Amino acid sequence: MSPKAQLVRPAGWWALAASRVIVGYMWYQQTLWKLPPDWGGAGGLRHWVEESGKYAVPWYRAFVNGVVLPNFSLFAPQVWLGETFIAISLVFGVFTRLGGALCFLMGVNLYLANSKIPHEWYWSYVFIALLGAIYGATRAGRYVGVDQLLVPRIERLGETHPRLGKILLALT
C-alpha cells in the first residue's frame, strides 16, 4: 500500500466494519420482498408507496400521489436498484462513501414516507439515515472492504488522471 493510502485505523474499526456488513445485509433483505417484475405483488412496494400516499407528511404525500404513484413503473426499478446498490456497497465495502450517502438519503426518504404510518417505528428510519451518514463520513469500506484494495490503485490512476482519481477516491 502506498504511503498516501496508509490508514490509521480508529479505535473500534472492527465494530464499524461489522455494523456496515450487517446493515448492508439488512438492505439486501429489503430487496427480496420487492423483486421485479411485480415489485412484491399485493403487499410489496406499491402497497407501501400507497401507504405513504395516505400518511406521509403533507408535502411528501402530494409528491407521492401526484408524481410517484402515477409513474410507479419508472420509480419502482430505481428504488430496487438503489437498495441493491446500497446492499452491495455496504456488504462488500466497495464505493462505501457513495453507498453510505445513498443509505443516508434513503433513510431520510423512508422517514418522510413512512414515519406516520400506524405501527411503524419511525426511529428505525432515523437510525438507518444516521448509520449511512457514519459509513459515508468514516470511509468504512476501507476497513475490511474492497475499498481498502481499491485506494492504492485509484491513487496510481490519479497520477495520470487527477480529476478521475479525485472523484473515485471521494467515493471510496
Q: Where are the alpha helices (DSSP H) in 33-145?
A: 45-55, 58-63, 72-92, 96-114, 123-138
pLDDT of residue 10: 77
Provide the angle, in degrees to the nearest 10, between the axes of the packed helices 45-55 and 96-114: 60
Provide φ and ψ at 169, rounded to 5°: -65, -35
Pairwise CA distance, residues 81 & 29, whole Å: 13
Q: Using one digit for the tens of pLDDT, what is the confidence trace for 134-150?
A: 999 999 999 999 999 99
pLDDT of residue 7: 60
Pairwise CA distance, residues 79 & 85, whole Å: 10
Taking 80 as the threshold, does the pLDDT of residue 6 lie above it?
no
Q: Using one digit for the tens of pLDDT, what is the confidence trace for 153-170?
A: 999 999 999 999 999 999
pLDDT of residue 102: 98
Q: Using one digit for the tens of pLDDT, what is the confidence trace for 60-102?
A: 999 999 999 999 999 999 999 999 999 999 999 999 999 999 9
Report in angstroms the alpha-carbon separations of 144 from 17, 44, 77, 85. 6, 34, 30, 18
pLDDT of residue 4: 52
